[in-house]
Amino acid sequence: MKESIIIFDTTLRDGEQSPGASMNGSEKLRLALQLEKLGVDVLEAGFPAASDGDFDAVAKIAAAIQAAEVAGLCRTAKSDIDRAWGAVRHAAKPRIHTFIATSDIHLQYKLRMSRDEVVEKAVEAVKYAVSLTPNVEFSAEDGSRSDRDYLCRIFEAVIAAGATTVNLPDTVGYAIPEEFAELIRYVKAHTPNIDRAVLSVHCHNDLGLATANTLAAVAAGARQVEVTMNGIGERAGNTSLEEVVMALHTRPNFYQFTSNVRTEFIHPTSRLVSMITGLPVQPNKAIVGANAFAHESGIHQDGVLKNPMTYEIMKPETVGLNTNKMVLGKHSGRHALRAHLKDMGYDLSDEELATLFVKFKELADKKKHVVDEDLEVLVAEGLQTKDVFALDYLHVTAGTTVLPMASVRILVNDRPVQGAGYGNGPIDATFNTISRLCNTHSELMRFSISAITGGTDAQGEVTVRLKENGLEAMGRGADPDIITAGAKAYINGLNRLEYLKTHPVEPVMD
């Protein structure tokens, strides 16, 4: 039997710290349930002390998740630990995850504490956390830039205090694989009681080496990896869950390890993360990008037709790309839709299916065939919680001889408001009108369009980034009509901004 690597997913915590990627409580719960279905071992649900909204979301996730451990992040302050425990205490498998910085630059400029004071603080925090639950993780923030002997000292101390997992983060993405592997080996060799705890790593991607560093650490003795779906997270992101899992899965001749992740749910989970956060997956992203299993070169196409393994080192089905040729259209019934959605990893309630079926029929009247990507969009959009703003009506006039004009009706807290406006083009006119009706002072920072399905009747996906008073939010919308998709994305972004205004989140380093 191969040893299993513990997959610690922090998409809901560190991943959510991506600029503009904040999720509301309902979205976090939906994603948590999908991550549990994916098979992650530990699910870091959030940072409960950051806001009341985050506390409530973590508490709801803790109550709903049965198979995975649910962790709450906290600093080494008693109030933080109490807040984390209050959120995760009703989980089937709760974990408290506490951290403090250990690098000299952090001690001098951020904490203004001595090394001895930090050790004392860490031990005190772990002892208190252990009095609440035996499952306690300690992280040495900026561990890769910390003195290695000091790392061993603080790890020895917190393990003696009761920590069952010690995490060595490359917080700023500074490490090089060979160097990081050597640091792991050194810590294992020079921490006397390291055998009493699981050694974990948490890598960032500032130099594009997060996955390489994580795999090097596993080879050197780390047994837990902290990752996010699609690699989202602070700055350049975190180690990508799908890359680490599929490296272990695809190269069993090299890595003598396995994981509990059900790889067939990787692609559906990736799409759900993208839908909820509004962060698109780059086309050439490993494993889950649109081009990951695409072949344009004639030589490559010829080889794949003769034997897919000539140019594909893994089967698309392994990561959940559906090769089923069953076509869904306007004549398809509710049972066929439910069965197909279940194959894609979405087990919907009767009420959710009824809501989705109406939207499915509306789309099927516009398109000949509804494909999996269309359904993922409908699931993400059709099951959202109540928003402040909703698009009720849109009519646009544009052309070479007319001034672009948009007539829009918006529901603001269910109250209809309508108006018309002009712009440099149909989308500009639409955005100008929506902005005025919603009385927003936000600034449009980014606007991008992509096709998420094939054919001339493809659904277009629009992603926007909005900024207002220091807050940034992503918005996304999809529709066969690209102007309508743009309007949906803009309104989605405005709703996310409204959520951030009422759910302030305190930024946290890991």
pLDDT, tens digit, for every residue of 380-429?
666 555 689 999 999 999 999 999 999 999 999 999 999 999 999 999 99
In whole angstroms, give the CA distance from residue 357 to residue 373. Answer: 15
In whole angstroms, give the CA distance from residue 229 to residue 288. Answer: 10
| Ordered domains of the chain (ranges, CATH) | 3-277 (3.20.20.70), 298-382 (no CATH), 389-502 (3.30.160.270)
Pairing of strands 389-397, 405-412: antiparallel
- Whether 224 contacts 205, CB under 8 Å: no
Question: Which residue has tokens 């699981």?
Answer: 198
Band of the pLDDT at 297, cuts 50, 70, 90? low
In this structure, which amino acid lies at residue 267?
Answer: H
Name the percent of the chain in helix, strand, coil, to the closest 5: 45, 20, 35
Find the helix packing angle between 334-343 and 372-382, rounded to 10°: 100
pLDDT of residue 293: 81
pLDDT of residue 459: 78
Q: Which of 501, 454, 12 is nearest to 226 (CA)?
A: 12
Reply yes or no on whether the pLDDT at 28 is more than 70. yes
**Which segments of 47-111 are extended strands (E)?**
69-75, 94-101
pLDDT of residue 455: 67
In sequence order, which residues have a C-beta less than 8 Å from that of residue 286 and are 6 or more positions away? 240, 242, 243, 246, 292
CB atoms within 10 A of CB 281: 19
- Whether 2 contacts 256, CB under 8 Å: yes
Query: Tokens standing for 303?
Result: 């080889």
- Whether 360 contacts 381, CB under 8 Å: no
Mean pLDDT of 369-381: 74
Length of the chain: 510
The vertex-70 CA angle with 65 and 75, nearest 5°, equals: 150
Rg (CA), the chain: 24
452 DSSP assignment: S
pLDDT of residue 501: 83
**Which segments of 50-147 are extended strands (E)?**
69-75, 94-101, 136-141
- Whether 475 contacts 106, CB under 8 Å: no
Query: Tokens standing for 77?
Result: 């302050």
pLDDT of residue 491: 95
pLDDT of residue 24: 83
- Whether 138 contacts 99, CB under 8 Å: yes
pLDDT in tens, 478-487: 888 999 999 9
pLDDT in tens, 451-493: 766 666 677 889 898 999 988 888 888 888 999 999 999 998 9
pLDDT of residue 324: 43
Query: Tokens standing for 41?
Result: 């071992």
The vertex-37 CA angle with 56 and 80, nearest 5°, equals: 30
- Whether 246 contacts 287, CB under 8 Å: yes
Q: Indicate the helix (H) or strand (E) that contains 241.
A: helix 241-250
Mean pLDDT of 149-156: 98
In this structure, which amino acid lies at residue 320?
Answer: G
pLDDT of residue 172: 97
- Concatenated DSSP letters of 286-314: TTTSTTTT---SHHHHHHHHH-GGGT-SS
